[in-house]
């Protein structure tokens, strides 16, 4: 992985991905005690940053491989990103999704034209299922984070952050990224190391599923004890990726772990103050900015709102925190 791959992905994404805004509110600044900027990837195609990686991967494949179709596994956001990118390229997509994924994400993935295969994430191995179906049908597997073309696509978010922050006169900040397997986190970290060296990336995770935070602390890949049981389903992965972890170890600061209740409060604040909808996993970075400001040394903070695909009951639960 290198910055040239991210810049090449940006060229392929030009005219296809949205350049999402960098939002702010004095009310959020008051909560955090410092300027807070929110990169609203919840406004990206399919409601999350995952479209970037999906398009980057599909557009980067040789035509002879792409035309046979692709396969991916995801709790929902990568699923929709790949499904939509495949539909735009006119190729088939099979998506392996956990049976407990939000209903909205499963329905949206099917609506985008993909074949959905459900599995039990607590008892079945999605990697094994993906490898088997790929071999049986001649499909190209697009991994959700441990794939160079996907990381390159996600890294274009970092290029945009660097340019948008510079326009605002922000040259020193900590960038808080909701982190699962590390595709977005590592991509943004590589992009900012090249384009905005005054920025430090911090992975953010929900309590009980902090494999990246623990891995960075010990210097070796650590695994989560559980693979289900959090509203932050979008960023629940078994462990950091073999490709992503070394990048994060080199370029990222310590992880920040937030409580589920804090993620719900961040969702409510984002809706009330910025008028955007964020899902629990996509709000973890903002939750860290608002409620863990004591762990942030930089004069400003940029939180990536990674996705907005949330079922109505969960969103109502978040809004109830406004009292």
Mean pLDDT of the residues in the chain: 95
Q: What are phi and psi of 188, to 5 degrees?
A: -65, -40
CA dihedral of residues 194, 195, 197, 199 (deg, nearest 10): -120
Residue 95 has pLDDT above 90, yes or no: yes
| Mean pLDDT in residue range 258-286 | 98
Give the tokens for residue 18.
Answer: 């949205």
pLDDT digits (tens, 9 = 90+) for 222-248: 999 988 889 998 899 999 999 999 999
Q: What are phi and psi of 66, to 5 degrees?
A: -60, -40
105 or 256: which leads in pLDDT: 256
Q: Which pLDDT does position 229 carry in this prediction?
A: 87
- Rounded Cα–Cα distance for residues 88 and 84 (Å): 6
pLDDT digits (tens, 9 = 90+) for 10-32: 999 999 999 999 999 999 999 99
Q: Which pLDDT does position 17 carry in this prediction?
A: 98
DSSP 170: -
Q: Which pLDDT does position 48 carry in this prediction?
A: 96
Q: Which pLDDT does position 130 carry in this prediction?
A: 85
What's the order of all strands across the beta sheet hosting 36-40? 22-24, 36-40, 301-305, 173-178, 199-206, 256-258
Give the tokens for residue 97.
Answer: 């999704």
| Mean pLDDT in residue range 172-179 | 98
Q: Which pLDDT does position 75 carry in this prediction?
A: 75
pLDDT digits (tens, 9 = 90+) for 297-310: 999 999 999 999 99
Contact 203, 179 (CB under 8 A): yes
DSSP 242: T
Residue 81 has pLDDT above 90, yes or no: yes
Percent of the chain scoring above 70 in pLDDT = 100
- Rounded Cα–Cα distance for residues 280 and 278 (Å): 7
Give the pLDDT band of residue 323 (cuts 50, 70, 90).
Answer: confident
Distance of CA 271 to the CA centre of its chain: 19
- Whose tokens are 């937030």? That residue is 258
- Rounded Cα–Cα distance for residues 153 and 85 (Å): 12
Check: pTM over 0.85? Answer yes or no: yes
Q: Is the dihedral of CA 136, 142, 143, 149 positive or negative?
A: positive
Q: Which pLDDT does position 161 carry in this prediction?
A: 98
């Amino acid at each position: 992985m290198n910055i040239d791959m991210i810049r090449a992905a940006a060229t392929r994404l030009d005219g296809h991905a949205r350049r999402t805004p960098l939002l702010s509110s004095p009310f959020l600044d008051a909560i955090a005690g410092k300027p807070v900027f929110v990169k609203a990837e919840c406004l990206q195609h399919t409601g999350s940053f995952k479209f970037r990686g999906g398009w980057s991967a599909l557009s980067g494949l040789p035509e002879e491989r792409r035309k046979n179709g692709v396969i991916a596994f995801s709790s929902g956001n990568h699923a929709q990103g790949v499904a939509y990118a495949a539909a735009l390229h006119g190729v088939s997509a099979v998506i392996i999704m956990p049976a407990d994924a939000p209903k909205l994400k499963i329905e949206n993935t099917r609506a985008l034209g993909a074949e959905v295969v459900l599995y039990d994430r607590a008892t079945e191995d999605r990697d094994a299922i993906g490898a088997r179906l790929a071999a049986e049908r001649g499909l190209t597997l697009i991994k959700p984070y441990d794939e160079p073309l996907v990381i390159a696509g996600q890294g274009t978010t970092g290029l945009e952050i660097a340019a948008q922050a510079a326009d605002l006169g922000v040259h020193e900040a900590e960038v808080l990224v909701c982190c699962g397997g590390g595709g977005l986190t590592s991509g943004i970290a590589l992009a900012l190391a090249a384009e905005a060296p005054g920025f430090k990336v911090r992975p953010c995770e929900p309590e009980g599923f902090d494999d990246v935070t623990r891995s960075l602390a010990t210097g070796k890949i650590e695994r989560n004890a559980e693979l289900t049981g959090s509203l932050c389903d979008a960023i629940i992965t078994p462990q950091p990726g073999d490709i992503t972890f070394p990048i994060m170890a080199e370029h990222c600061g310590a992880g920040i772990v937030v409580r589920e209740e804090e993620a719900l409060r961040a969702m409510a604040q984002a809706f009330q103050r910025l008028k955007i909808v964020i899902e629990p996993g996509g709000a973890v970075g903002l939750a860290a900015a608002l409620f863990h400001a004591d762990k942030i040394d930089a004069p400003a903070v940029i939180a990536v709102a990674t996705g907005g695909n949330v079922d109505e009951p969960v969103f109502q639960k978040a809004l109830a925190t406004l009292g």
